[in-house]
Amino acid sequence: MTARSLMVEPVAGALGAEVSGVDLSGPLDDATVAAIRRAWLEHGVIFFRDQDLPPTAFLAFAQRFGEPIEYPFVKGLPEAPEIIPVLKQADERVNFGGIWHSDTAYLDIPPMASMLIARDVPPAGGDTLFASMYLAYEALSDGMKRLLEGLRGINSSASADVSKTREDRMKDSARADARQEYVATHPIVRTHPETGRKALYVNVAHTVGIEGLTRDESAPLLCYLYQHQIKPEFTCRFRWRPRSIAFWDNRCVQHNAVNDYQGHRRLMHRVTLAGDKPR
């Protein structure tokens, strides 16, 4: 497979592109990997269709782009601990990740990227929404940008809304070594280390306050940012099929798994890649 066979087609004006012309199960030369990375950096999230990647092959593909890391709360697959099942059973009501967020922003060094591959999807529904935090930041007024400069968000894994989205998996596959709570502070506006662009880095699932302010003082500003950053013009939507892959940049993209498929099972496999300390 060579880079020249790749086709990259944007799926929305804000972010997202579908990449075709590549079989990810076969050997990928360095030029092809570099071309995929360029598309990912440009579009924030990229999608692949009809990729036959069992867990070990999915992990090997992810390793071409970074170092896979384990999720702190839920056990990974026996054959690949870095891969966690993102599962909702047909009888469950709450879905894993069904809230706008950037993955594990409560870690001191949150992940650079996440990859998701669809194993079992409902006949309809279960789409994932993505939002560009570049555009969310760039659309702010100059006054708001000045206000946010230097502020740091407090991020916690114990936020009630996000804790609820993993309750079902904690019942059957919780990690024995998980802490009760992970807390980290990060800049509310971070600079992407590869593109140099600024992005909002707060999310309703994890950001619980602003350093140096009380919860009551933080709340109005954070609530405004939570509503602003998911405006439709900053988003794209991906409809899953079995063997589809989404690969997104956690440093500048948020996502939300839509919970509109009650009575159906949905199973995905997820890998996250080690990142850098937000600055």
Taking residues 240-251, what's their average pLDDT? 98
Residues annotated catalytic, as ranges:
101, 103, 255, 270
Query: In whole angstroms, what is the distance from residue 59 CA to residue 43 CA?
Result: 22
Q: What is the per-residue pLDDT for 165? A: 60
Q: What is the per-residue pLDDT for 18? A: 98
Q: What is the per-residue pLDDT for 153? A: 98
pLDDT over threshold 60, residue 89: yes
pLDDT confidence tier of residue 164, bands split at 50, 70 and 90 = low
Q: What is the per-residue pLDDT for 71? A: 84
Cβ contact 40:72 at 8 Å: no
Q: What is the per-residue pLDDT for 175? A: 56
CATH superfamily of 3-273: Clavaminate synthase-like (3.60.130.10)
* Phi, psi dihedrals of residue 180, rounded to the nearest 5°: -65, -35
User: What six digits make up the tokens of 274?
Assistant: 């080690």
Lowest average pLDDT, out of 4-13, 147-156, 175-184, goes to 175-184
Q: What is the per-residue pLDDT for 148? A: 98
Concatenating the DSSP letter of every residue in 63-127 gives: HTTS-EE--SSB--BTTBTT-EEEEE-TT--S-TT-SSB-TTTTSSS--SEEEEEEEE--SS---
Q: What is the per-residue pLDDT for 73? A: 76
pLDDT confidence tier of residue 242, bands split at 50, 70 and 90 = very high
Please state, as a whole number, how many other Cβ atoms lie within 10 Å of the Cβ of residue 141. 8
User: What six digits make up the tokens of 229?
Assistant: 């950053």
Q: What is the per-residue pLDDT for 26? A: 87
pLDDT tens for each residue of 169-219 = 555 666 566 666 899 999 999 999 999 999 999 999 999 999 999 999 999
Percentage of residues in the chain having pLDDT higher than 90:
86
CA–CA distances in Å: residue 53 to residues 21, 23, 38, 62, 101:
16, 10, 22, 11, 26
Contacts 24+ apart (CB under 8 A), 4-10: 6/32, 6/35, 6/36, 6/39, 8/39, 8/43, 8/46, 10/43
pLDDT mean across residues, the chain: 93
Q: What is the per-residue pLDDT for 74? A: 80
More reliable by pLDDT, 166 or 237: 237
pLDDT confidence tier of residue 166, bands split at 50, 70 and 90 = low
More reliable by pLDDT, 174 or 101: 101
Instruction: Please give the order of strands across the beta sheet that includes 128-132.
Output: 235-238, 128-132, 253-257
Percentage of residues in the chain having pLDDT higher than 70:
91
Domain ranges of the chain: 3-273
Taking residues 17-23, what's their average pLDDT? 97
Buried b (16+ CB within 10 A) or exposed e, 87-120: bbeeebeebbbbbbbbbbbbbeebbbbbbbbbbe
**In terms of Cα–Cα distance, which of 157, 155, 237 is closest to 190?**
155
Cβ contact 210:152 at 8 Å: yes
Q: What is the per-residue pLDDT for 5? A: 86
User: The whole model's pTM is what?
Assistant: 0.93
**In terms of Cα–Cα distance, which of 137, 28, 13 is closest to 5?**
28
